[in-house]
């Protein structure tokens, strides 16, 4: 007999998708060194991830099937990555626009993902109440359209991986100058290293096509559910930029273009 208590097994309540299966030659996520999450460190600049989604990859094709299945059966919780192999999870760096069909989903779980961006179509998930992209360490920002989810009240985000986070205050990528007209720019084929996404079609604020007006990108940090998130706004005009709300307390208060913007002191200063 012993007085020691029986060891307890603690399970991951979101489903652990961060590690490889035994024998897997590579991890399920790529290494990201964009932001030092352990301590503040001044950096001259940061940038967007340049990767484009490989739409021929098995993981992407399987994700499309899972989104279709979830839309058809009207499920309220969607955990697509738990149904992919580690290598398939590594192949997914964004979500498909078809997530706009997931209007019944209340909880979206993307724990341990390899995502580098979330598409604006997340704003169409009008029933979304809980968003869990925790330990998605390559996900540094979110689309402003997430503010269109009226029921979103709970989020679990690895905030130290975010641009401008209050712990370490990393900088924001410097955005491109405003484009009053898109005569020399194809919004359907953009360089994600420069624009954040490979395509921008509609205004984040008024939802008008940017092709008909222009493209004015700004950053805005807002409280979304539980966390303050750096949001990328793709506005069609300066008027839409002016219509944006004030930024979150203890963050840059107004929309800005990133780069060498002055931020409040970090928690560790």
Q: What is the DSSP track for 196-254?
A: SSS---B-TTT--BGGGS-BEEEEEEEEETTEEEEEEEEESSHHHHHTSPPPPTTS--S
Q: Which of 232, 198, 230 is nearest to 216 (CA)?
A: 232
pLDDT at residue number 25: 54
Q: How many CB atoms lie within 10 A of CB 113?
A: 28
Arithmetic mean of pLDDT, 232-242: 98
Residue 10 has pLDDT above 50, yes or no: no
Q: Please state the φ and ψ torsions of residue 238, each to the nearest 5 degrees.
A: -65, -30
What's the N-to-C CA distance of the chain in angstroms? 52
pLDDT at residue number 47: 95
Arithmetic mean of pLDDT, 245-265: 95
CA distance 153 to 132: 11
Spell out the residues 6+ positions from residue 40 whose beta carbon is closer than 8 angstroms to its own: 167, 168, 169, 266, 268, 269
pLDDT tens sequence across 27-70: 678 989 888 776 655 566 899 999 999 999 999 999 999 999 99
Residue 142 has pLDDT above 90, yes or no: yes
Specify the pTM.
0.90
Residue 28: both structure tokens together: 């399920």
Phi-psi region of 177 (alpha: psi -120 to 50; beta: other; left: phi over 0): beta
Better-predicted residue by pLDDT, 10 or 108:
108
């Amino acid at each position: 007999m012993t007085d020691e208590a029986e060891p307890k097994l603690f399970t991951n309540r979101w489903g652990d998708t961060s590690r490889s299966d035994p024998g897997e030659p590579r991890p399920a996520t790529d290494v990201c060194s964009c932001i030092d999450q352990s301590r503040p460190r001044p950096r001259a600049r940061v940038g967007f991830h340049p990767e484009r989604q490989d739409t021929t990859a098995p993981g992407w094709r399987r994700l499309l099937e899972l989104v279709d299945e979830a839309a058809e059966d009207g499920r309220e919780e969607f955990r697509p990555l738990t149904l992919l192999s580690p290598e398939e999870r590594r192949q997914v760096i964004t979500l498909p626009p078809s997530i706009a069909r997931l209007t019944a989903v209340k909880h979206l779980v993307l724990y341990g993902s390899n995502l580098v961006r979330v598409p604006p179509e997340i704003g169409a998930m009008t029933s979304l109440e809980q968003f869990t992209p925790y330990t998605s360490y390559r996900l540094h920002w979110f689309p402003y359209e997430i503010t269109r989810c009226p029921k979103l009240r709970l989020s679990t985000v690895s905030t130290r991986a975010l641009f401008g986070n209050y712990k370490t205050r990393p900088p924001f990528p410097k955005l491109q100058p405003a484009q009053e007209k898109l005569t020399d720019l194809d919004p359907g084929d953009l360089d994600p290293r420069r624009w954040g996404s490979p395509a921008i079609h509609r205004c984040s604020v008024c939802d008008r096509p940017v092709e008909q007006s222009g493209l004015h990108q700004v950053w805005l940090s807002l409280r979304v559910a539980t966390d303050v998130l750096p949001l990328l706004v793709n506005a069609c005009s300066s008027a839409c930029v002016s219509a944006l709300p004030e930024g979150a307390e203890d963050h840059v208060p107004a929309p800005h273009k990133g780069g060498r913007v002055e931020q409040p002191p970090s928690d560790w200063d």
